[in-house]
Amino acid sequence: MGFALDTSSPAYKSQVLELGDKAQQNVLTFLNSHGPSAVVAGTALKALRQMQKLGKLDNLTTQYHERVTRGDVVDPCATVV
C-alpha cells in the first residue's frame, strides 16, 4: 500500500488535505491502541517521541522506508525544483 500525489492535478490540494486527515486519524488510532489517549497534537507528539525512543516505532519506520524504496510512496516535493 502506498500513495503518489500529482502536483499538476486539479485535485492535488484536496488530496493532500484528505491524506492529512487520514494520517491524523491513523496516528490517533495507533496511539490509543498502544497507550494513553492523545487528542491534542502536542500530547500526540510527546507520545510518539517516547515510543520512538523505546524502539516501538522501528518496525513501522522500516516498513515506510521499504515502501519508499519500492516507489510505493512518492514525495512530489522531492521532484519540485
> What is the per-residue pLDDT for 78?
61
Mean pLDDT for the chain overall: 80
Q: What is the pLDDT of residues 1-34, one digit of tens each?
A: 556 777 888 988 898 899 889 988 888 888 888 7
Regarding pTM above 0.75, the answer is no
Residue type, 71: G
> What is the per-residue pLDDT for 20?
87
Q: How far is CA 4 from CA 7, 19, 26, 31, 46, in A?
A: 10, 11, 18, 25, 29
Count of CB atoms situated within 10 Å of the CB of 16: 13
Count of CB atoms situated within 10 Å of the CB of 29: 10
Q: Can you tell me the mean pLDDT for 63-80? A: 77
11 vs 39, higher pLDDT: 11
